[in-house]
Structure 1
Amino acid sequence: MKQIFWGKLILSSLIMMLHFPSFADQGKTTYQTCSACHGEQGQGNSALNAPSLAGQFDWYLQTQIEHFASDLRANDPRDTHGKMMVPFAKQLSDPEQTKQLLSYINSFEAVSVKGTIKGDLKNGSRYYQAKCGACHGGEAQGNPTFKAPKLAGQDPQYLLRQIANYQQGIRGTHQDDKYGRQMAMMANAVSDKELQDIVFFISEQQ
């Protein structure tokens, strides 16, 4: 009797697997909407001002989705690129759907952006370690403890634009965006020359 029971249970499980898409497949279906801007493998698209998602922490991506959906981010009318994300973020109201999406994005290989920007590596390293490394890690690998995202592999133009947004009060001003406000303060402590070299240093990291 036990053998018959377990046999039926296994058969039922197999039938369910055939009829219901896998966790990753469900995430892939949701990601099709994202791929138009962020690329098939989450590599981003500088021409569309869409950042790379590949290799980024899933908790950070989830936080940004939540911030877009709740108007903590892209709440300034000047943030035209950010506002494009808002309706898509609001569609992700189901936590399970978001979890599946992030699981699928997590399967992407991180991209290299070496050689896509010019700068002084020595100065960039010095400036970066002094002003960014404590939170984002010595090699721009990010640090979950400080809620600091990975920067290595990110489109340099996207990084430059976000720092400019912080400096101009376009991003990081909402009272509930604790870490955004911290970044706004740090961004305003960096000169244009330092920023160019810092982003060059970041682009040379894996």
Structure 2
Amino acid sequence: MYRFILSSLYCTSLLALIASLPLLAKETPKAYAQCIACHGENGEGNAALSSPAIAGLSEQYLSRQLKNYASGKRGYESADSYGQQMAAISKSLDLNKDVPELAKYIATLPKPTIEQKVSGDLKNGHRYYHAKCGACHGGQGQGNSSFKAPKLAGQHFDYLARQMQNFSQGMRGKHPDDKYGRQMAMMARTVSDKELADILFFISQQ
């Protein structure tokens, strides 16, 4: 009986250790320390600092945007002050080591719960979103890796509005080598202010 109890305790301890291995392996990259001040410890973003939520974005998208900032494809316009901040930070990263580590880690962070006081016409938002956004970004704003389209659900309303403005005004998606940015810039110019407000309201409900 005594041996059976010891054997059971050993098995329980072993199972607990095995279960904890993924958590032990998920070590925070050192480079993430400079992200926390703006994007939060869990990648939830900070509306007061106009910083977007980055938790749960795909590795593919995160890696591409960090490299776009570092290469000058994004954040090069003087009027885009937030983009210029990110460009400066991205240029300090090791593109071969830091960027892959950051992208992989951030992609594993759970989707944040963001409480937003926004209003709009949900029915119209649903209609406009699916007519102009859903084919690439997914029916519920979950993103689509096949189209290199990022997740929109769980993002700060003001950030999405600002990026659409940046696209439509040529502050983003203007660089000739930013293929996906140029696609978004064209789409952004087809959306009216009223449509955008309702689209963003729809996304905020996802």
Tell me the distance in 2 between the aligned counterparts of 1:73 and 1:23: 32
Greater relative contact order (Cα 8 A, min sep 6): structure 1 or 2? 1
Provide TM-score, normalisation by structure 2: 0.85
Secondary structure of 1:109's aligned partner:
coil
What's the offset of the Cα at 1:112? 2.9
Specify the alignment match of 2:152 in structure 1. 151
TM-score (norm 1): 0.85
Q: What residue ranges of structure 1 are gaps of 5+ in the alignment?
A: 1-21
Residue 94 to residue 173, structure 1, CA distance change in 2 (3 Å): closer
Instruction: Find out whether 1:160 has 2:169 as its counterpart.
Output: no
AA paired with 1:123? N
Aligned ranges for residues 68-107 of structure 1 at < 5 Å? 68-107=69-108
Q: Which amino acid in structure 2 is aligned with residue 183 of structure 1?
A: M
Give the CA deviation at 1:92. Answer: 1.5
2:172/2:185 contact within 8 Å kept: yes
Separation in structure 2 between the aligned mates of residue 54 and residue 123 of structure 1, nearest angstrom: 28
Structure 2, unaligned stretches of length 5 or more? 1-23
Q: How many residues align?
A: 183
How far off is 1:96 after superposition?
Answer: 2.3
CA root-mean-square deviation: 1.4
Deviations 1:87-129 (A, max 9, x none): 2101222422222222322231101335431111111000000
Identity of aligned residues (%): 51
Partner SS for 1:84: helix
Give the equivalent residue in structure 1 for 2:170: 169
| 1:17-166 correspondence runs (5 A) | 24-25=26-27, 27=29, 29-113=30-114, 115-166=116-167
